[in-house]
Structure formats: structure tokens, C-alpha cells
Amino acid sequence: MDTLVSKPEITVLCGGFGAARFLDGFKRVVNNGTCIVNTGDDLKKNLLHISPDVDSVIYSLADLFDEDRGFGIKNDTFKVDRLLSKIKPQWFHIGDQDLKTHLSRTFKLITGKTLAESIETILRQYSLNWKVLPMSDQSVSTVIVSSGKEISFQDFIVKFRGDPKIDDVIYKGSLNALPAPGVVDSIENSQVVIIAPSSPIASIGPMLAVKQIRNALLARKKPIVAVSPVISAVDPLRPAEIQRANLRQKFLATKGYGHNPYAVADMYKSFIDYFILDYRDIDYVSQIESLGIEVLMADLLVVSSNQRKEEAQKILDFVSAVTF
């Protein structure tokens, strides 16, 4: 079976890097869907509003995501960044094509548009069928607490390279934040909700901290499927993968969890029905099933677009069998 589904009514909860790789295969078997994306690591830099996870998702859907670097647009140039570096050292580097996205978003925001509305403008520029929704139009900031000090997420992972110890991870603004328009409706009414293989604490955590989003997941009657972001049996190889695995491990440890698929399933157990596990981690099947969660095995390490398409089709076939 290899059929492009035109109206799958699928919603994917996304972070950045892991979701971008997952979507590379899924977009090839699903004609359209909805991505709800973490904005907890948004930042202001050089007067620009930057939404790293949102942009990674958009670039992936547009076949532009730079997987080697783990962010931005592949084959981008950095002429403006080099000029800015002569004025002031830049610890957060923005490519020239990427800069166009940030300028478009920032212009919309300063003219009174919401973050969701600014994203709609960017999507039209790339002629994408998929919807991309921010988790909230209000500011929710992922903050790392280290030795009594608060460090913004991007400062922690980029400026300080994830080195400071982590005492806690908090989501500032989440108590008062409301889901962006369409977020709750998409969770409630999609045939299936998929949690992408994104960091549970850094990427999915901010979304779950928004009360109405978490409540919508808990109240949902139709299936929710989570894809494991952790593959315990194989060490990551690419620099971007190594960095994110190390950070994910530190974040999970902060909340008392191990760095393994069972820990992720345990975190999500109150609202997921199915868990996609890499076949190399077969030893975790019985543990995850003991949580009352059904497991599907897949190859989550495939790298070519065709291989990812095949694995996405397998997941879609499974999802279709239990939902459509």
C-alpha cells in the first residue's frame, strides 16, 4: 500500500529537530495535516522574533530543513551574519534565507498580527498544504534554573552549549497562556493525534504546560500515538543528534526520568494509546505494554527520504487500521 492520503485529519505535536526529521517521511504519504508546534524556545535577537521550532517544521515541510546543522535552511549563506559579527559578536547565527522568515514574522507582529497569523503568511510563501499552528499566541518561555539563576532556553543550549547544571526546567507564562486558535479544535476533532519524536521536556513539555492543551489530550476519545524520541540501543552519530541526545538526557534526569523509551511512554501514559518504538529497542516492549499502551515497531533511524516514506506509510497504515 502506498497511497497519498488527501484528508487524513491528522494532527502532529511538534518540537524542532526530531519533528522535522519525522515530517520528512510523513509529508510524502499525507497530503495535508496540522502541526501544533512548540514556541517555548522563541527568542528576540537583533530586534527579530525568532521561532526556531516553528521554522524547522516549515522548512521540513518545504524540503528545505538543514538536518546536518539541526536548524535553518540547507545551503543557506551567512553574509548578513558576518557583517553583524563585525559590529557585535553573534552567538546565535542566522542564515540569509532564514533571515527573510524572521523579517516577515517580525513585521507582521509589529503591525499587530498574532504569531499564528504571521505563520500563515510564511506558509503561503512556500505554498504548503499543511497547517502549522503555534501552541499559543501568548509568550511561554522555557527557562532553565541553574544554581539559583534563570537561563533562557536558547542561551542555555546555544550560548552556553548546554554546559550549566540543570536544577529545574520551568515554563514561564504557561499558567496564563491560551492555545492558539485552532489548536484545541484540531486535537479534539482529528482522527488521530501523533506526538512527534521531540524532546519530552524541552519541546512537548511547554505544550503540556498550557492547561487547555493538556486537558484536550486527556479528554480526547480517539487515539493518540507517540513516536519515541529515544533509541537506547544505538548511540547517535551526527553532531546535531549527539548534542540533542545529551540535552534530552539532562532534561529528563531533571524531572527524575531515565533516558530510554519506557521513560517517555511513562510520561505520556495518561493520554496516549499507542507508542511507536524503534525495533532495536525491542527489549522495552513488555515494559511499555505494562503501562496499558500498545506498541508498534518501526525503523526510526532511516535517513533517506524514500526509507522515511516507507516507515511513515507503515505508521499511517497502522494508524488507519485503528482509527479510520
Bridge partners, residue 149, by sequence = 146
Residues in the chain, overall count: 324
- Work out whether the CA dihedral 259, 260, 262, 267 comes out positive or negative: positive
Give the closest residue to 149 by CA, choosing from 162, 168, 163: 168
pTM attached to this predicted model: 0.93
123 exposed, middle or buried (CB, 10 Å; 0-12, 13-18, 19+)?
middle
Superfamily name and number for 10-323: CofD-like domains (3.40.50.10680)
Residues 26-38 have pLDDT tens digits of 999 888 899 999 9
- pLDDT above 90: residue 226: yes
% of the chain residues with pLDDT over 90: 77
Describe the crossing of helices 239-254 and 17-26 by its angle, rounded to 10 degrees. 120
Task: Show me where the domains of the chain are located.
Answer: 10-323
- pLDDT above 50: residue 55: yes
How far is it, in rounded angstroms, from Cα 54 to Cα 71?
11
Provide the grid cell at 179: 492555545
Q: For 167-186, what is the mean pLDDT?
A: 96
Q: Name residue, grid cell 486537558.
A: 215
Q: Name residue, grid cell 530586534.
A: 47
- Contact in structure between 124 and 114 (CB atoms under 8 Å): no
* Helix H or strand E segment including 187: helix 183-189
Q: Name residue, grid cell 497504515.
A: 317
Residue 230: band (very low, low, confident or very high) from pLDDT cuts 50, 70, 90: very high
- pLDDT above 90: residue 243: no
% of the chain residues with pLDDT over 70: 97
- Contact in structure between 25 and 300 (CB atoms under 8 Å): no
How far is it, in rounded angstroms, from Cα 54 to Cα 239?
22
Give the closest residue to 228 by CA, choosing from 264, 253, 193, 266: 264
Lowest-confidence pick of 3-12, 112-121, 129-138: 3-12
Residues 181-220 have pLDDT tens digits of 999 999 999 989 999 999 999 999 999 999 999 999 999 9
pLDDT value for 316: 85
- Contact in structure between 58 and 128 (CB atoms under 8 Å): yes
Residue 315: band (very low, low, confident or very high) from pLDDT cuts 50, 70, 90: confident
Residue 323: band (very low, low, confident or very high) from pLDDT cuts 50, 70, 90: low
Query: 3-state class of 294 per DSSP?
Result: strand
